[in-house]
Chains A and B, each alone.
Chain A
Amino acid sequence: MAAQEPVGDGAETARVSLLYDPKVRALVAQVALILLVIWLGYSMVNNTLVNLEKQSIASGFGFLGTTAGFSIAPTLGTFIVDYAEESSYGSAFYVGLFNTLLVAFIGIILATIWGFILGVARLSNNWVIAKLSTVYIETLRNIPLLLQIFFWYFAVLRSLPNPRESVEFGANIVLNTRGLFMPRPLPEAGFGWVSIAILIGLVGTFFMRRWAHQRQESTGEQFPVFWTSVGLIVGFPILVFLVLGMPLDWQIPELRGFNFRGGMVIIPEFMSLLLALVLYTATFIAEIVRAGILAVSHGQSEAAHALGVRSGPTLRLVVIPQALRVIIPPLTSQYLNLTKNSSLAVAIAYPDLVSVFAGTVLNQTGQAVEILLITLAVYLTISIVTSVLMNWYNAKMSLVER
């Protein structure tokens, strides 16, 4: 570009026609493009509104306050929102949102753990473990997810007993076709102190870790950080709980009529969706983990061993931190995939956002444009937040150059 610009002083350039001035031309082209995009956006919105009006289809977001009138299967979402038939379409939206977030959140945690185990297993020196892991990964990641969801739902459902012949696990936990029933904890007066104890434990752990880190930097002495953390976060609240005389009651599920009532229930739709998502996504995570570990030069472990560092700390302090730099970016994509794939829930009646909001609510109100826009915006937001968090973590783990 620079070579084509007129060479000379200001007086000479001024004489060149504006038509041939590359700066002006670039500016005009860009302004024209932006105007075109704005016009396109405006005409799309305008067209939509005019056509909805013309076909007398209701529009606007007023429907969110209208009574929903339908029921949603009991899940964490219905519990948090306290949803009932008299609730509004807006509440139904939150039920769907919480259910999507729940399955995505738990799914991400479990898929990460299972994926790491599989990835390490595939690199194992033990022939059987390595081959088992290879076969598992190659089978599950090559079968479409929707089929796996159907498999886990219908295959597992058919093998479960009906409520009257439930499998009992003891401690009032029962399993049947209607789900996994567990006692529901009912906090009594004084239980608030246990929550405060957990909070104290968390804050204490934070400061303890800082202190231990500083001490190691200055003296080289190590402190049992992990076990102290466990003691503070788990042990301390349990102690408070016992001292206060166990201020917690349990609502036991019992068989009445058709089904178990009371207690908590994990519906089979949730279990099979979670199972399918975790088992499927974990195969991809396993491959990412394997790639990450293989990317760390073998010389690194050899150097650590030469310094007398044992195998455990070598993996934890030398290999994994370096592997994570390779692992985190593609891992983020898998987290996003898992979240978006959770919308396949609609096939097996798990009341997620797509099923409840972009399904039932859309059909009862008929306001497809608004509802799909909201749904798109929600998935976009969840994905962007996940990306931002993972990018922050990636920046934190990246190589600090001195």
Chain B
Amino acid sequence: MKKIILPVLFGMAAMGVSAPSASAATLDDVKAKGFVQCGVSQGLPGFSNTNDAGDWTGIDVDVCRAVAAAVFGDASLVKYTPLSAKERFTALQSGEVDVLSRNTTWTMSRDTSLGLNFTGVNYYDGQGFMVRNSLGVTSALQLDGASICTNTGTTTELNVADYFRANNMDYEVVAFEKADEVVQAYDSGRCDVYTTDASGLYAQRLKLTNPGEHSVLPEIISKEPLGPVVRHGDDQWLDIVKWSLNAMINAEEMGVTSANVDDMRNGDNPGIKRLLGTEGAFGEAIGVSNDWAYNIIKQVGNYGEIFEANVGPDTELGISRGVNALWTNGGLQYAPPIR
């Protein structure tokens, strides 16, 4: 908290002249320092978490790596700043991070009044509830009078208030600043219910003493489109982040993977040629090299690959594609064409 407040007050006020990197070109700053500073969570398996070797992995982390691959041609040129839900927007506003890729829900107020822009959706989520199996609860509508543990500074707090009010149910909220404390408090029995985005529930369940004794209720009570965020007022940087994500989704749709990208590059399909930079100058238009998308797919993978590797059915989280399938497969993932 402290480390954020100081940059805000001094960054916005005292050094206001040098701080507004929003209107300055973020791309130039990033190129000058030689890496992308990326805001991630403090540890959410599958989204942004450190592995045994101490490297950051996850579907949100891969968005950062994709941006670095587009800018530098090297996906490893990323530095990560773990942020709490409360700190994240201030860190982005004050220029502490260049892009925020931290399972952040796209809402109108965040997009319009925080001086931020959302660049797309890398995971369609919705808020759910987790309870102990021993309670015998099978539906969220049976939760009248329950104690609910959650994080402060999230849309979760508002959604749960709306849901319980709409269904005329009583409840008590216990809101912690850090996700780890929410898990601990829920695990020690302070609350009957743990609520956050459904993907987060599956991820955090792994941290409980006995994950098998808890289950996620079927109700999804909100729309939580999660996506990367940049500062308002720098359209070039916005374009780079937006199209890095779109390139991964388009690549999956066209069947381009990290394994076959070199072969595909030499193929005849004009759509794939445009994507991989052998035709047209789409990279130059956003201020990076023309093989930007090739680098992303080669080093990070297409959207389907990063989903399978981080949250998919074969991982600990075991989440099926569901609404995150491509639109061609009945899901919601749909990227505008590169042409």
Contacts and interface: CB of A to CB of B under 8 A. Distances in A.
A57 B146 contact: no
Given A52-B12, A55-B231, A369-B12, A157 B173 contact: no
Nearest to A343: B1
A256 B170 CA distance: 11
A362 B12 contact: no
16 contacts: A47-B12, A54-B22, A55-B20, A55-B231, A56-B115, A70-B157, A157-B185, A157-B190, A259-B172, A351-B175, A355-B175, A363-B85, A366-B89, A368-B8, A369-B13, A372-B8
A362 B153 contact: yes
Given A360-B175, A369-B8, A47 B115 contact: no
Contact of B233 (A56, A85, A154): A56
A266 to B, nearest CB: 13
B74 to A, nearest CB: 30
Interface stretch (B39-47, B176-184, B235-243): B176-184
Interface stretch (B64-72, B160-168, B221-229, B320-328): B160-168
A372 B9 contact: yes
The interface centre, meaning the residue of A71, A258, A259 with most chain B CB atoms within 10 A of its CB, is A258
Given A85-B165, A360-B152, A157 B189 contact: yes
Given A71-B173, A363-B89, A261 B145 contact: yes
A287 B178 CA distance: 35
Interface in B128-159: 135, 143-147, 152-154, 157-158
B161 A372 contact: no
B269 interface: no
Contacts of A267: 174
Interface string B72-115: 00000000000001100110010000000000000001101111
A337 interface: no
Given A70-B158, A157-B189, A359-B86, 10 more contacts: A48-B12, A54-B20, A55-B22, A55-B93, A69-B158, A72-B173, A85-B161, A154-B185, A258-B192, A346-B152
Given A261-B170, A348-B176, A364 B12 contact: no
B105 to A, nearest CB: 12
Contact of B153 (A261, A268, A359): A359
A47 B233 contact: no
A58 interface: yes
Closest 4 CB pairs of A and B: A47-B16, A363-B153, A55-B115, A57-B115
A50 interface: yes
Given A52-B12, A157-B185, A257-B144, A47 B17 contact: yes
Interface of A: 44-45, 47-48, 50-52, 54-58, 69-74, 85, 154, 157-158, 160, 162, 177-178, 256-259, 261, 267-269, 346-349, 351, 355, 359-360, 362-366, 368-369, 372
A268 B176 CA distance: 13
B137 to A, nearest CB: 9
A47 B174 contact: no
A24 to B, nearest CB: 33
Contact of B162 (A69, A157, A162, A177): A69
B181 A348 contact: yes
Given A157-B189, A362-B153, A364-B158, A57 B114 contact: yes
Nearest to B16: A47
B338 interface: no
B266 interface: no
A353 B152 CA distance: 13
Contacts of B177: 346-347, 349, 355, 359
Contact of B146 (A73, A259, A360, A368): A259
Interface in B1-28: 1, 5, 8-9, 12-14, 16-17, 19-20, 22-23
A269 B90 contact: no
B91 to A, nearest CB: 11
B147 A56 contact: no
Nearest to B12: A48
A162 B189 contact: yes
A69 B222 CA distance: 15
Contacts of B153: 359-360, 362-364
Nearest to A257: B145
Contacts of B147: 178, 258-259
Nearest to A41: B13
B265 interface: no
A243 to B, nearest CB: 39
A311 to B, nearest CB: 48
A48 B94 CA distance: 11
A362 B153 CA distance: 8
B171 interface: yes
